[in-house]
Amino acid sequence: MSAIATIPNETFVNLLKDLLLEDYIPSSNAQALIQAEARYIKDLKINVGNAINNTQQLNRKEALLLALAVSVNERFEPLKESFTRLAQQEGATEAEIAEVIAATSLMNTNNVFYRFRHFMNKDSYNNQPAGIKMSLMMNPVLGKEFFELLSLAISAVNGCEMCVSSHEQSVLQHGSSESRVFEAVKTVSIIKGLITVLA
């Protein structure tokens, strides 16, 4: 018997099945929602389904790679594993999965550094070379447009205004659209909210 078979809320169980989380043991946050039969569980399932199945601006593989990036960013291993499997089912390669992890790591580095520069806004900090190696950004296997989109989305999760602005400008220069940017940021925000419940 799987762990989710003991969960009394059918909507929550179906959400976990969609995410390949059959062995998930509910966190205290999840238990609180389940026990109260909270209406939010239905909203969460709909939001997550819309986020990873949006085919208008993002294809399913792209949405799943963005979801994977948030799971890596938030260090939530169960979703990292399930989004890796789901992305692979949509054709994601080992190199693409590895690049999502690397890009997320690089954005964590840059988000802290450039947020500090922005907060301080001093010439003594702004005029020094960053000295952070970023060769990953030169020829990404994900393609430059999607790499920039992913970088923007993770920067939004981490709250770096300078990085969001810079990557938004870059992603548009590489042929993207504001609608696609909007959907990418909405996708990662929904997955961040999902992790708040599950972790």
Tokens standing for residue 10: 């059918």
How far is 78 from 22, CA to CA, in rounded Å?
10
Contact at 8 Å (CB) between 145 and 171? Answer: yes
In the block, tokens 């799971």 appear at 71
Return the ∠ at Cα 168 (arms to 87 and 136), rounded to 5°: 55
Catalytic one of 15, 92, 100, 160? 160
Give the count of alpha carbons within 13 A of 3, CB side only: 10
Catalytic one of 44, 79, 163, 185? 163
Query: Quick check: is 36 catalytic?
Result: no
Query: Quick check: is 37 catalytic?
Result: no
Catalytic positions = 160, 163
